[in-house]
């Protein structure tokens, strides 16, 4: 057993500092991996109806669309999922505004509106997404520590 005390903590602090510095300086490749993971999670939500959480469409909407697929009409919104990388951050978003650009279709579904139920397109707390992000972060930390050893 190893017991860490103030006298022998220096080696541990070196690793902690390296991880902290490395996380604060994520590179474009790391951010790209995070963005792709989030985009895959959104795509999976479209494939599975929000992993089974999206309310079904109304009969009236089904008749108009001639389909019972939730949030999929032409596929434009699903295919518009985008990401934007900037220094040390990544944003994943759905910019599509629908036929009428004044209407924010993704936000309407994300948060619900006047009788329309919420259908979360982006769910940063989804277990599947968090599990995938955990794996990416472990890979990033491993890369950081490889440079310290």
pLDDT in tens, 66-89: 888 888 877 888 888 889 988 778
Q: How large is the average pLDDT for residues 136-144?
A: 85
67-98: b or e for each residue (b if 16 or more CB lie within 10 Å)?
Answer: eeebbbeeeebbeebeeeeeeeebebebebbe
Range 84-103 average pLDDT: 73
Assign 42 a pLDDT band (cuts: 50, 70, 90): very high
Quick one: pLDDT at residue 124?
83
Strands (E), 2-136: 82-86, 89-93
To the question of pTM greater than 0.85 for the whole model, the response is no
Is pLDDT larger for residue 76 or for residue 38? 38
């Amino acid at each position: 057993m190893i017991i860490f005390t103030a006298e022998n903590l220096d080696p541990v602090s070196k690793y902690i500092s390296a991880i902290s510095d490395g996380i604060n300086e994520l590179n474009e490749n790391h951010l790209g991996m995070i963005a792709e993971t989030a985009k895959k999670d959104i795509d999976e939500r479209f494939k599975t109806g929000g992993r089974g959480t999206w309310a079904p469409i109304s009969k009236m909407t089904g008749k108009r669309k001639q389909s019972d697929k939730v949030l999929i009409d032409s596929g434009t919104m699903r295919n518009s999922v985008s990401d934007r990388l900037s220094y040390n951050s990544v944003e994943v978003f759905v910019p599509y505004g629908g036929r009428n650009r004044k209407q924010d279709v993704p936000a309407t579904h994300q948060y619900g509106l006047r009788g329309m139920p919420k259908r979360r397109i982006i769910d940063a707390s989804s277990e599947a997404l968090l599990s995938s992000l955990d794996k990416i972060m472990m890979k990033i930390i491993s890369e950081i520590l490889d440079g310290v050893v």
